[in-house]
């Protein structure tokens, strides 16, 4: 199965009027009256949501800060929670993200991890690709392969349709550099990330 992205930030803006018209047609096909009080503004609201979801604010630029005596530390950022859409069923998936890296002589501004996760969540996705994309961007940002990203996902395409298993969770892990070759470092990450999920 190909995991190549279907959307990129460079894609053309959403045609709000066209999307609203399509949503109106969908409501009609579902047997609804799009002119009734509760639905009259629904097509435009849905179109606005798609625009904001696919094109989140990207004005903030990730920054790194010089810091002495940090080389070799494990830095772990958890508690990052984002929503995305399963590209197979257009249903939401909730993704809890934990990222770890080993800095050299610079550290990454902590809020930037959340922005990276939000940016890659804001498109039609699969969890496996999302995990890899977040890890790849962090690697490019710090200029090192010593990055690991773990994602725990709740997929409505599994919990509200099909087998309808509400408690089902999917976990993905993308590890590189020392997180692949150093079992102690890898175990430290797994222990800390598991603790982060338990306390969230």
Do 84 and 163 fall into the same domain? yes
Do 86 and 136 fall into the same domain? yes
Tens of pLDDT, residue by residue over 159-170, are 888 778 888 899
Do 49 and 115 fall into the same domain? no
The structure's pTM equals: 0.84
Whole-angstrom distance, CA of residue 100 vs CA of residue 78 = 9
Do 115 and 45 fall into the same domain? no
Whole-angstrom distance, CA of residue 62 vs CA of residue 109 = 7
Q: Considering its fold, how many domains does the chain have in total?
A: 2
Q: Is the pLDDT of residue 5 over 60?
A: no
Q: Is the pLDDT of residue 61 over 90?
A: no
Residue at 97 is within a domain: yes
Do 37 and 129 fall into the same domain? no
Residue at 11 is within a domain: no
Tens of pLDDT, residue by residue over 7-25, are 554 566 789 999 999 999 9
| Nearest partner of 7 among 54, 46, 43, 50, judged by Cα | 54
Residue at 140 is within a domain: yes
Do 42 and 124 fall into the same domain? no
Do 70 and 96 fall into the same domain? yes
Inter-helix orientation angle 42-54/16-29, to 10° = 130
Mark out the alpha helices in the chain (DSSP H runs).
Answer: 16-29, 42-54, 111-121, 127-142, 156-159, 178-181, 183-198
At 168, give phi and psi (nearest 5°). -65, 140
- pLDDT of the residue at 4: 46
- pLDDT of the residue at 109: 86
Give the CB-side neighbour count of residue 144, counting CA atoms within 13 A. 19
Q: Is the pLDDT of residue 3 over 50?
A: no
Do 139 and 83 fall into the same domain? yes
């Amino acid at each position: 199965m190909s995991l190549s992205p279907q959307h990129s930030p460079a894609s053309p803006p959403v045609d709000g009027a066209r999307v609203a018209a399509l949503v109106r047609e969908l409501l009609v096909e579902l047997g609804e009256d799009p002119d009734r009080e509760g639905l009259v503004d629904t097509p435009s609201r849905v179109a606005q949501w798609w625009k904001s979801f696919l094109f989140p604010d990207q004005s903030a630029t990730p920054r790194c800060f010089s810091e002495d005596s940090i080389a070799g530390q494990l830095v772990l950022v958890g508690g990052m929670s984002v929503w995305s859409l399963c590209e197979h069923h257009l249903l939401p998936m909730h993704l809890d993200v934990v990222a770890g890296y080993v800095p050299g002589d610079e550290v990454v501004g902590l809020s930037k991890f959340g922005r990276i996760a939000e940016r890659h969540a804001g498109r039609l996705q699969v969890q496996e690709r999302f995990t890899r994309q977040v890890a790849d961007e962090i690697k490019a940002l710090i200029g090192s392969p010593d990055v690991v990203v773990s994602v725990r996902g709740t997929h409505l395409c599994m919990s509200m349709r099909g087998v309808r298993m509400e408690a089902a969770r999917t976990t993905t892990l993308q590890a590189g550099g020392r997180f692949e070759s150093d079992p102690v470092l890898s175990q430290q990450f797994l222990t800390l990330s598991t603790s982060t999920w338990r306390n969230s």
